[in-house]
Amino acid sequence: MSSGKQALLIGDITHARKEWEGCSSFVGLQEFPTGTREEFLANLKSAKYDNVVVIYRSNDSTKYTGPFDKELVQALPSSLKYICHNGAGYDNIDVVACSAKGISVANTPQAVDDATADVALFLLLGALRRITIPFTAVRQNQWRGSGFGLGHDPRQKTLGNAKYVSFDELLSTSDVISLNLGLSAATRHIIGPKEFAKMKDGVVIVNTARGPVMDEAALVDALASGKVWSAGLDVFEEEPKIHPGLLKNENVVLLPHIGTATFETQRDMELLVLENLRLAVQEGTLKTQVPEQRK
What integer best gives the mean pLDDT of the chain? 95
Render pLDDT for 75-125 as a digit per residue (tens, 0 to 9). 999 999 999 999 999 999 999 999 999 999 999 999 999 999 999 999 999
Q: What is the rounded average pLDDT of the residues 268-281?
A: 98
Which pLDDT band holds residue 2 (cuts at 50, 70, 90)? very low
Longest dimension (CA), the chain: 69
Compute the distance between CA of residue 237 and CA of residue 219 in angstroms, rounded to an integer: 11
CB atoms within 10 A of CB 142: 12
Whose CA is closest to 132, among 246, 215, 259?
246
Q: What is the rounded average pLDDT of the residues 46-66?
A: 96
Compute the distance between CA of residue 216 and CA of residue 247 in angstroms, rounded to an integer: 12
Per the annotation, the verdict on 38 as an active-site residue is no
Per the annotation, the verdict on 257 as an active-site residue is yes
| Neighbouring residues of 37: CB distance < 8 A, sequence distance ≥ 6 | 64, 65, 66, 72
Q: What is the rounded average pLDDT of the residues 151-157?
A: 87
pTM greater than 0.95: no
The letter for the amino acid at 118 is: D
The answer to whether the beta carbons of residues 286 and 106 sit under 8 Å apart is yes
Q: What is the rounded average pLDDT of the residues 42-70?
A: 97
Render pLDDT for 184-234 as a digit per residue (tens, 0 to 9). 999 999 999 999 999 999 999 999 999 999 999 999 999 999 999 999 999
Catalytically annotated residue among 38, 169, 239, 264: 239
Render pLDDT for 15-37 as a digit per residue (tens, 0 to 9). 999 999 999 999 999 999 999 99
Residue 261 reports pLDDT greater than 50? yes
CB atoms within 10 A of CB 1: 11
Residue 13 reports pLDDT greater than 60? yes
Catalytically annotated residue among 15, 189, 257, 267: 257
Catalytically annotated residue among 130, 210, 243, 278: 210
Q: What is the rounded average pLDDT of the residues 161-179?
A: 90
Q: What is the pLDDT of residue 147?
A: 84
Whose CA is closest to 87, among 57, 122, 117?
57
Residue 291 reports pLDDT greater than 50? yes
Whose CA is closest to 196, among 165, 229, 163?
229
Query: What is the phi/psi pair of residue 82, to 5°?
Result: -140, 140
Q: What is the pLDDT of residue 88?
A: 94
Which pLDDT band holds residue 249 (cuts at 50, 70, 90)? very high
Percent with pLDDT over 90 in the chain: 89
Q: What is the rounded average pLDDT of the residues 238-254?
A: 97
Residue 184, judged by CB atoms within 10 A of its CB (0-12, 13-18, 19+), counts as middle
Whose CA is closest to 32, among 74, 73, 66?
66
Domain ranges of the chain: 6-109+264-293, 131-250
Fold held by 6-109+264-293: Rossmann fold (3.40.50)
3-class SS shares of the chain: helix, strand, coil, % to 5: 40, 15, 45
Q: What is the pLDDT of residue 156?
A: 79
Residue 163 reports pLDDT greater than 90? no
Compute the distance between CA of residue 45 and CA of residue 15 in angstroms, rounded to an integer: 31
DSSP single-letter state for residue 167:
H
Q: What is the rounded average pLDDT of the residues 63-84?
A: 98
Q: What is the pLDDT of residue 159?
A: 79
Q: What is the pLDDT of residue 3?
A: 53
Compute the distance between CA of residue 74 and CA of residue 70 in angstroms, rounded to an integer: 6
The answer to whether the beta carbons of residues 107 and 290 sit under 8 Å apart is yes
Fold held by 131-250: Rossmann fold (3.40.50)
Residue 162 reports pLDDT greater than 70? no
Whose CA is closest to 226, among 254, 208, 249, 210?
249
Per the annotation, the verdict on 189 as an active-site residue is no
Compute the distance between CA of residue 118 and CA of residue 13 in angstroms, rounded to an integer: 24
